[in-house]
Amino acid sequence: MVSESKASNTAQGTILSGMRPTGKLHLGNYLGALDNWVRLQDDYRCIYSIVDIHALTTVEDPGEVANIQPNIHEMALDWLAAGVDPERSIVFIQSHVPEVMALHTLLSMVTPLGWLLRVPTFKEKVRQMDETEESVNYGLVGYPVLQTADIIIYKADTVPVGQDQLPHLELAREIVRRFNFRFGDTFPEPQAKLTEAPLILGLEGQQKMSKSLDNHIDLASTAEETTQRVLTAFTDPQRQRRSDPGRPEVCNVYSLHKIFSSARDIDQVYSECTTAQRGCVDCKRHLAGSVNDFLEPLRERRRELEEKPDYVREVLFEGGKRARAIARETIAEVYEKMGLGQPV
């Protein structure tokens, strides 16, 4: 196992990132975040959290609570199979570090309500839940405060985000600045590490790939399941007959070829599509083969991990211990600076 001292000596900084436990991950999750997480391990001290407390902010059905633990296990399998290495990174479950909830409460004492009500994603969540701002739970309103606690309790200085997430990180930085101003320099202001990731549209070619929209391909799907899913994908809407030349530039199947197929295959797909030498079904079968070839090493590692459930539980347990050791030091410092004495 890589020691903490060795990891910190070679790292550029500390990364914190997390995902809500939604179960098995899909291609959009992999290309949008997970693949980047794996590469970041080469240069940073990485802390990756399955944020189960965050998941509770939008739970409306008791059945969803029952899914949290199975979803955690499925997500952990995908992380490990993709190459998140528990010997180089801290991999854990958010709720296994209760200090983060304590810091969330303390940060709420310095966070104006107006800041939270102006967060664009809060308004969007309220709309999606068909609620009013007065009727949603406090957890949803305070989500950014808990998110800030997630980052700074480990003194993380870098957060990988997409362009659309920059406002969330700026709010975290505002909370840190206000805390440091009132109680003394305690936390680094987390900096964004912008991630360049392709926008992966769902199989209907209109919206971002999403499990809730059922337009996704799970990483853990079988080759046969993947092929059947790809065959449902929409192509060029103006290509009505096999003899019609296609327009790859407007076809989502072609955009996926550009990610998963070889350069030679991409050129061939373009040429044969635009000259009507290749039909859409053949094109989709070709894509399914490319996606399956790409995912097979990950799927093989996942199958091996599925045979070792105790190992996965041990990874999360040990990761929780490592994360909590850091969090305890931070919360002790915070208690002292806020005049609360030392926590028991």
Does 208 qualify as catalytic in the annotation? yes
Residue ranges of E strands in 20-128:
45-50, 89-93
Cβ pair 47, 94 in contact under 8 A: no
Three-state SS for 88?
coil
Neighbours of 67 (CB within 10 A): 16
Does 125 qualify as catalytic in the annotation? yes
14-19, strands of its sheet edge to edge:
89-93, 45-50, 14-19, 158-161, 191-194
Cβ pair 262, 270 in contact under 8 A: no
Three-state SS for 55?
helix
Which two tokens mark 6? 């060795």
24, 123, 193, 211: which is the annotated catalytic residue? 211
Does 211 qualify as catalytic in the annotation? yes
Q: Residue 147 carries which side chain, given as an amino acid letter?
A: Q
6, 24, 123, 208: which is the annotated catalytic residue? 208
d(CA 273, CA 276): 5
125, 193, 284, 321: which is the annotated catalytic residue? 125
Nearest to 97 by CA among 338, 266, 320: 320
Catalytic residues: 125, 208, 211
